[in-house]
Amino acid sequence: MKNFRKNVPSLNALVTLEAVVRHRSFTMAAGELGVSQAAVSRQITVLEQDLGIPLFIRGYRTIDPTPNCLVLVETLSKSFSDIMQVVDYVRVSERKAKQTVTIRTSAAFATLWLLPRLGTLHALFPTTQIRLASQDSRAALNMDGTDVAVWFGLPPFEKGNVVGTRKDTVYAVCSPSFLSRVPDPDAFLSAPAHLIEHDNTNREWDSWRQWFIDAGIKTKKTEPDLSLSHYADVLAAAKAGQGVALGWHVLVRQSLEDGSLTRLGSREVKCSGCYNVITSLQDTSHGVGEAIALWILQNL
Protein backbone atom coordinates (compact mmCIF):
# COMPACT_ATOMS: atom_id res chain seq x y z
CA MET A 1 0.00 0.00 0.00
CA LYS A 2 3.09 2.26 0.19
CA ASN A 3 2.75 3.52 -3.40
CA PHE A 4 -1.05 3.29 -3.58
CA ARG A 5 -1.69 6.99 -4.20
CA LYS A 6 1.06 7.13 -6.81
CA ASN A 7 -0.05 4.06 -8.80
CA VAL A 8 -3.86 4.23 -8.52
CA PRO A 9 -5.87 6.93 -10.34
CA SER A 10 -8.18 9.37 -8.60
CA LEU A 11 -10.92 7.66 -6.61
CA ASN A 12 -13.41 10.26 -7.88
CA ALA A 13 -12.49 9.36 -11.46
CA LEU A 14 -12.94 5.62 -10.76
CA VAL A 15 -16.33 6.23 -9.14
CA THR A 16 -17.31 8.31 -12.17
CA LEU A 17 -16.17 5.55 -14.55
CA GLU A 18 -18.25 2.91 -12.75
CA ALA A 19 -21.36 5.11 -12.95
CA VAL A 20 -20.85 5.88 -16.66
CA VAL A 21 -20.45 2.19 -17.58
CA ARG A 22 -23.42 1.15 -15.45
CA HIS A 23 -25.68 3.75 -17.06
CA ARG A 24 -24.00 3.68 -20.50
CA SER A 25 -24.51 7.43 -20.39
CA PHE A 26 -22.45 10.46 -19.33
CA THR A 27 -25.66 12.41 -18.71
CA MET A 28 -27.27 9.79 -16.43
CA ALA A 29 -23.99 9.30 -14.54
CA ALA A 30 -23.77 13.07 -14.00
CA GLY A 31 -27.31 13.08 -12.61
CA GLU A 32 -26.51 10.27 -10.18
CA LEU A 33 -23.28 11.91 -9.00
CA GLY A 34 -24.76 15.40 -8.77
CA VAL A 35 -22.27 17.02 -11.15
CA SER A 36 -22.39 18.40 -14.69
CA GLN A 37 -21.98 16.27 -17.81
CA ALA A 38 -18.87 18.28 -18.64
CA ALA A 39 -17.36 17.36 -15.25
CA VAL A 40 -18.00 13.68 -15.92
CA SER A 41 -16.41 13.98 -19.37
CA ARG A 42 -13.33 15.66 -17.87
CA GLN A 43 -12.95 12.92 -15.24
CA ILE A 44 -13.06 10.22 -17.95
CA THR A 45 -10.58 12.10 -20.16
CA VAL A 46 -8.14 12.53 -17.25
CA LEU A 47 -8.52 8.83 -16.37
CA GLU A 48 -7.83 7.78 -19.98
CA GLN A 49 -4.73 9.97 -20.01
CA ASP A 50 -3.57 8.51 -16.68
CA LEU A 51 -4.05 4.91 -17.86
CA GLY A 52 -2.74 5.61 -21.37
CA ILE A 53 -5.64 3.80 -23.08
CA PRO A 54 -9.10 4.70 -24.41
CA LEU A 55 -11.90 3.45 -22.16
CA PHE A 56 -14.81 4.01 -24.57
CA ILE A 57 -15.56 3.74 -28.25
CA ARG A 58 -17.46 6.94 -28.89
CA GLY A 59 -20.14 6.95 -31.58
CA TYR A 60 -22.98 9.24 -32.52
CA ARG A 61 -24.87 9.59 -29.23
CA THR A 62 -23.45 6.25 -28.05
CA ILE A 63 -20.57 5.12 -25.88
CA ASP A 64 -19.36 1.53 -25.79
CA PRO A 65 -16.86 0.42 -23.10
CA THR A 66 -13.70 -1.20 -24.41
CA PRO A 67 -12.83 -4.73 -23.17
CA ASN A 68 -10.16 -3.25 -20.86
CA CYS A 69 -12.75 -0.83 -19.48
CA LEU A 70 -15.19 -3.68 -18.72
CA VAL A 71 -12.47 -5.66 -16.89
CA LEU A 72 -11.59 -2.60 -14.79
CA VAL A 73 -15.22 -1.75 -13.99
CA GLU A 74 -16.05 -5.34 -13.02
CA THR A 75 -13.36 -5.13 -10.31
CA LEU A 76 -14.43 -1.62 -9.32
CA SER A 77 -18.07 -2.65 -8.90
CA LYS A 78 -17.15 -5.56 -6.64
CA SER A 79 -14.67 -3.44 -4.67
CA PHE A 80 -17.15 -0.59 -4.19
CA SER A 81 -19.79 -3.09 -3.08
CA ASP A 82 -17.34 -4.63 -0.58
CA ILE A 83 -16.36 -1.17 0.70
CA MET A 84 -20.01 -0.19 1.06
CA GLN A 85 -20.78 -3.33 3.08
CA VAL A 86 -17.76 -2.81 5.36
CA VAL A 87 -18.54 0.88 5.89
CA ASP A 88 -22.15 0.00 6.69
CA TYR A 89 -20.92 -2.63 9.15
CA VAL A 90 -18.60 -0.17 10.91
CA ARG A 91 -21.33 2.45 11.13
CA VAL A 92 -23.92 0.02 12.41
CA SER A 93 -21.55 -1.51 14.97
CA GLU A 94 -21.63 1.85 16.74
CA ARG A 95 -25.40 2.10 16.57
CA LYS A 96 -26.65 -0.76 18.67
CA ALA A 97 -30.22 0.40 18.35
CA LYS A 98 -30.23 -0.68 14.71
CA GLN A 99 -32.00 -3.91 13.73
CA THR A 100 -30.05 -6.31 11.51
CA VAL A 101 -31.89 -8.18 8.76
CA THR A 102 -30.02 -10.83 6.77
CA ILE A 103 -31.16 -11.37 3.18
CA ARG A 104 -29.93 -14.54 1.48
CA THR A 105 -30.18 -14.96 -2.30
CA SER A 106 -28.23 -16.06 -5.36
CA ALA A 107 -25.18 -14.10 -6.49
CA ALA A 108 -27.00 -13.24 -9.74
CA PHE A 109 -30.08 -11.83 -8.00
CA ALA A 110 -27.93 -9.96 -5.47
CA THR A 111 -25.77 -8.32 -8.14
CA LEU A 112 -28.38 -7.63 -10.82
CA TRP A 113 -31.56 -6.88 -8.84
CA LEU A 114 -30.96 -6.26 -5.15
CA LEU A 115 -27.75 -4.20 -5.05
CA PRO A 116 -29.07 -1.48 -7.41
CA ARG A 117 -32.08 -1.09 -5.07
CA LEU A 118 -30.27 -1.09 -1.73
CA GLY A 119 -30.40 2.69 -1.57
CA THR A 120 -34.19 2.62 -1.76
CA LEU A 121 -34.32 -0.16 0.82
CA HIS A 122 -32.13 1.81 3.24
CA ALA A 123 -34.34 4.88 2.77
CA LEU A 124 -37.46 2.86 3.58
CA PHE A 125 -35.87 1.14 6.60
CA PRO A 126 -33.34 3.72 7.92
CA THR A 127 -32.92 2.07 11.32
CA THR A 128 -32.24 -1.36 9.84
CA GLN A 129 -28.87 -2.77 8.90
CA ILE A 130 -29.12 -4.91 5.76
CA ARG A 131 -26.75 -7.87 5.68
CA LEU A 132 -26.58 -9.49 2.25
CA ALA A 133 -25.47 -13.12 1.95
CA SER A 134 -25.23 -14.62 -1.55
CA GLN A 135 -24.80 -18.22 -2.64
CA ASP A 136 -25.58 -20.33 -5.70
CA SER A 137 -26.16 -23.79 -4.23
CA ARG A 138 -29.80 -24.60 -3.50
CA ALA A 139 -28.72 -27.71 -1.61
CA ALA A 140 -27.05 -25.49 0.97
CA LEU A 141 -29.98 -23.10 1.33
CA ASN A 142 -30.79 -22.97 5.00
CA MET A 143 -32.83 -20.32 6.78
CA ASP A 144 -30.73 -20.55 9.96
CA GLY A 145 -29.41 -17.06 10.61
CA THR A 146 -31.45 -15.73 7.68
CA ASP A 147 -34.45 -13.41 7.95
CA VAL A 148 -35.39 -13.17 4.27
CA ALA A 149 -34.43 -15.27 1.26
CA VAL A 150 -35.15 -14.79 -2.43
CA TRP A 151 -34.64 -18.04 -4.29
CA PHE A 152 -35.43 -19.27 -7.78
CA GLY A 153 -36.92 -22.74 -7.96
CA LEU A 154 -39.81 -24.66 -6.49
CA PRO A 155 -40.77 -25.14 -2.81
CA PRO A 156 -40.42 -26.57 -0.24
CA PHE A 157 -37.66 -24.67 1.53
CA GLU A 158 -36.35 -25.82 4.89
CA LYS A 159 -37.42 -23.68 7.88
CA GLY A 160 -38.92 -21.06 5.58
CA ASN A 161 -42.35 -19.60 4.92
CA VAL A 162 -43.00 -18.61 1.28
CA VAL A 163 -44.52 -15.13 1.42
CA GLY A 164 -45.13 -15.00 -2.33
CA THR A 165 -43.79 -16.01 -5.73
CA ARG A 166 -43.04 -14.32 -9.04
CA LYS A 167 -42.96 -16.12 -12.40
CA ASP A 168 -40.40 -15.18 -15.04
CA THR A 169 -39.79 -15.52 -18.77
CA VAL A 170 -36.53 -16.27 -20.55
CA TYR A 171 -35.50 -14.98 -23.97
CA ALA A 172 -32.36 -14.38 -26.00
CA VAL A 173 -30.45 -11.14 -25.38
CA CYS A 174 -27.39 -9.52 -26.92
CA SER A 175 -25.77 -6.13 -27.32
CA PRO A 176 -27.26 -3.61 -29.78
CA SER A 177 -24.06 -3.82 -31.85
CA PHE A 178 -24.37 -7.62 -32.10
CA LEU A 179 -28.04 -7.33 -33.09
CA SER A 180 -27.14 -4.89 -35.88
CA ARG A 181 -25.17 -7.71 -37.54
CA VAL A 182 -28.12 -10.13 -37.49
CA PRO A 183 -30.47 -9.59 -40.49
CA ASP A 184 -33.20 -11.96 -39.25
CA PRO A 185 -33.08 -12.65 -35.47
CA ASP A 186 -35.63 -15.49 -35.50
CA ALA A 187 -33.82 -17.19 -38.37
CA PHE A 188 -30.55 -16.73 -36.47
CA LEU A 189 -31.95 -18.69 -33.53
CA SER A 190 -32.69 -21.62 -35.86
CA ALA A 191 -28.99 -21.77 -36.76
CA PRO A 192 -27.35 -20.01 -33.81
CA ALA A 193 -23.74 -19.05 -33.19
CA HIS A 194 -21.81 -17.38 -30.38
CA LEU A 195 -24.00 -18.81 -27.62
CA ILE A 196 -23.03 -17.81 -24.07
CA GLU A 197 -24.28 -19.94 -21.17
CA HIS A 198 -24.33 -19.86 -17.39
CA ASP A 199 -22.52 -23.01 -16.22
CA ASN A 200 -24.78 -23.76 -13.24
CA THR A 201 -25.37 -27.15 -11.66
CA ASN A 202 -28.83 -25.94 -10.56
CA ARG A 203 -30.81 -27.10 -13.57
CA GLU A 204 -33.83 -25.07 -12.57
CA TRP A 205 -31.84 -22.47 -14.53
CA ASP A 206 -32.40 -23.36 -18.19
CA SER A 207 -29.55 -24.36 -20.47
CA TRP A 208 -29.60 -23.37 -24.14
CA ARG A 209 -30.43 -26.99 -24.99
CA GLN A 210 -33.55 -26.96 -22.80
CA TRP A 211 -34.55 -23.46 -23.90
CA PHE A 212 -34.50 -24.44 -27.58
CA ILE A 213 -36.72 -27.45 -26.77
CA ASP A 214 -39.19 -25.38 -24.73
CA ALA A 215 -39.25 -22.63 -27.37
CA GLY A 216 -40.04 -25.16 -30.09
CA ILE A 217 -36.93 -24.30 -32.10
CA LYS A 218 -35.35 -27.16 -34.01
CA THR A 219 -31.62 -26.65 -34.31
CA LYS A 220 -28.62 -28.96 -34.44
CA LYS A 221 -26.47 -26.59 -32.39
CA THR A 222 -27.38 -26.34 -28.71
CA GLU A 223 -23.97 -26.33 -27.03
CA PRO A 224 -22.58 -22.96 -25.88
CA ASP A 225 -19.50 -21.40 -27.44
CA LEU A 226 -18.67 -19.71 -24.13
CA SER A 227 -19.54 -21.01 -20.65
CA LEU A 228 -19.16 -18.85 -17.53
CA SER A 229 -19.68 -19.75 -13.87
CA HIS A 230 -21.45 -16.51 -12.86
CA TYR A 231 -24.59 -15.21 -14.54
CA ALA A 232 -23.47 -11.58 -14.12
CA ASP A 233 -20.37 -12.48 -16.19
CA VAL A 234 -22.63 -14.02 -18.85
CA LEU A 235 -24.49 -10.72 -19.20
CA ALA A 236 -21.24 -8.73 -19.15
CA ALA A 237 -19.95 -10.83 -22.07
CA ALA A 238 -23.21 -10.29 -23.97
CA LYS A 239 -23.03 -6.52 -23.35
CA ALA A 240 -19.48 -6.56 -24.71
CA GLY A 241 -20.81 -7.99 -27.99
CA GLN A 242 -19.30 -11.45 -27.55
CA GLY A 243 -22.50 -13.35 -28.29
CA VAL A 244 -26.05 -14.21 -27.28
CA ALA A 245 -27.17 -15.06 -23.73
CA LEU A 246 -30.37 -16.24 -22.12
CA GLY A 247 -32.03 -13.36 -20.33
CA TRP A 248 -34.25 -13.87 -17.29
CA HIS A 249 -36.59 -10.89 -17.56
CA VAL A 250 -36.47 -9.99 -13.85
CA LEU A 251 -32.66 -9.87 -13.96
CA VAL A 252 -32.14 -8.18 -17.36
CA ARG A 253 -35.02 -5.67 -17.25
CA GLN A 254 -32.75 -2.82 -16.10
CA SER A 255 -30.21 -3.60 -18.83
CA LEU A 256 -32.97 -3.54 -21.45
CA GLU A 257 -34.17 -0.18 -20.13
CA ASP A 258 -30.71 1.41 -20.19
CA GLY A 259 -30.00 0.00 -23.67
CA SER A 260 -26.93 -2.07 -22.81
CA LEU A 261 -28.84 -5.21 -23.83
CA THR A 262 -31.61 -5.86 -26.32
CA ARG A 263 -33.81 -8.84 -27.14
CA LEU A 264 -32.84 -11.04 -30.08
CA GLY A 265 -35.89 -12.58 -31.75
CA SER A 266 -39.46 -12.90 -30.52
CA ARG A 267 -39.29 -16.33 -28.89
CA GLU A 268 -39.61 -16.57 -25.11
CA VAL A 269 -40.16 -19.37 -22.61
CA LYS A 270 -42.10 -19.24 -19.35
CA CYS A 271 -39.98 -20.69 -16.53
CA SER A 272 -41.21 -23.79 -14.73
CA GLY A 273 -39.71 -22.42 -11.51
CA CYS A 274 -40.30 -19.04 -9.94
CA TYR A 275 -38.74 -16.51 -7.59
CA ASN A 276 -39.75 -17.35 -4.05
CA VAL A 277 -39.66 -14.67 -1.36
CA ILE A 278 -39.18 -16.53 1.92
CA THR A 279 -39.14 -15.50 5.57
CA SER A 280 -37.75 -17.47 8.49
CA LEU A 281 -40.17 -19.47 10.64
CA GLN A 282 -38.28 -18.07 13.64
CA ASP A 283 -38.72 -14.30 13.33
CA THR A 284 -35.95 -12.51 15.24
CA SER A 285 -36.36 -9.19 13.40
CA HIS A 286 -39.62 -8.19 15.13
CA GLY A 287 -41.54 -8.00 11.85
CA VAL A 288 -38.95 -5.97 9.92
CA GLY A 289 -37.89 -9.02 7.89
CA GLU A 290 -41.47 -9.68 6.76
CA ALA A 291 -41.91 -6.00 5.81
CA ILE A 292 -38.75 -6.14 3.69
CA ALA A 293 -39.89 -9.43 2.14
CA LEU A 294 -43.20 -7.84 1.12
CA TRP A 295 -41.38 -4.85 -0.38
CA ILE A 296 -39.18 -7.19 -2.47
CA LEU A 297 -42.21 -9.16 -3.63
CA GLN A 298 -44.09 -6.00 -4.66
CA ASN A 299 -41.12 -4.76 -6.70
CA LEU A 300 -40.18 -7.98 -8.50
pLDDT in tens, 247-287: 999 999 999 999 999 999 999 999 888 899 999 888 777 78
The pLDDT of residue 39 is 92
> pLDDT tens, 36-55?
999 999 999 999 998 899 99
Structure confidence at residue 144 (pLDDT): 78
- Find out whether 230 and 256 touch, Cβ atoms under 8 Å: no
- Say whether pLDDT at 202 is over 80: no
pLDDT at position 297 over 80: yes
Distance CA 172, CA 246 (A): 5
Between residues 194 and 127, the one the model is more confident about: 194
What is the C-alpha separation between 99 and 125, in angstroms, rounded?
A: 10
pLDDT of the residue at 11: 86
Q: What is the pTM of this model?
A: 0.63
Ranked by mean pLDDT, the top range of 61-65, 67-71, 196-200 is 67-71
Q: What is the pLDDT averaged over residues 70-89? A: 89
